[in-house]
Amino acid sequence: MNAPHRPGPAKLRTLEIGRFIAASLVMATHLIWFARAYGLAGQAALLGGFVPPAPFAVQFFFTLSGFVMVCAHGPEFGQHGASARFWWRRARRIYPMYWLSLLLALCTLPAPPGAGRVLGLVTLAPYFTPDIVPPAWSLRLEIAFYLLFGLCLLPRIGRALLVLWVAGAVALTYWPHLQADLVPQALRAHAVLFLFGTNFTCFHLQFFGGMLAGWLYQTRPPGPRLAWGVLATGAAALLLCLPFLHWGNAYYTPALAPVLSLGFGAVVLGLAALETAGAIRPTALATRLGAISYPLYILHGSFLALFTALAAPSRLHLGPSGQYGLLLGAMLAIYALSAAAAFFIDQPLQRRRRRA
């Protein structure tokens, strides 16, 4: 992992577009469920019952996270102080928007949660707890990734820890009974679920797929012709998985985990290499859409909860046209509010972080 760092653009616009599309799919899924709650009894389902493939989108986020971690911090492997710097940067990136979303969600509760639960909600500690911000479970998994990846940056022992992490995730994915022998009771699935629980180890494999893609992009980037082949191969692998995953509405099976991991990684690597080679030239709008993606992802559920608290489905019943109007209006409002949060709160905070 100490190969020479290959300079690249600060933001890969193709991946920023992918990030925005993925966040929009998650938002659209929750928005459709939200709008359906306001329908009349016996009314036909919105969009013929179609639900966007939000689980597929979340898995893209995990792969992209691994890619970004290696591209941004790969050169720091083995450096003194790299782990602390990494954890501090990631905390400053992930928490402000989440805390805003959490504050909005808390305002919708009939009674405040207990102090112990509040601590778990505020810290996003990677253990099992009922969340009130819908996408927060994935942030807990990201926190687990960050904790483990930061340890891998340590001098002398970092590489060994990376090998142990990969081996442990693979072992628990394919031999879950090992958890009973290797993982202490206090760290099993329903305690520290997101670090060691067998239900979630497949997500670690997707993170590894992104890390592999990032390492190849930094050290052995494919040329344009090969990059098109890598992209097509990754896309084909993902398409072949879709029928076995309810067309993107299920997360994984252990048998498909390697295909998903390498497929998402190949798509990310192909897009990054093509943009760097100039074969794909997204406009500056892509950067703006990417800036909106995280606020959109983490805030939309709290916006919907606030609306539901003000206009409960029990008091508002809509016909088909009203439901579609609610769906469109809520979508436009969420995009507008997320953009405002991105450009007036999140982006200024990130610029201030980079200057510090």
Domain boundaries, the chain: 13-101+203-355
Whole-number average pLDDT of the chain: 89
pLDDT of residue 175: 80
Lowest mean pLDDT among 22-31, 191-200, 339-348: 191-200
pLDDT in tens, 68-87: 999 999 889 999 999 999 99
For residue 318, the cross-strand partners are: 39
Q: Phi and psi dihedrals of 188, rounded to 5? A: -80, -175
Give φ, ψ of 39 to 5 degrees.
-80, 160
Asked if pLDDT for residue 150 goes beyond 70, the answer is yes
What Cα–Cα distance (Å) separates residue 17 from each residue in 12, 212, 257, 266, 290? 9, 21, 24, 16, 6
What is the per-residue pLDDT for 195? 52
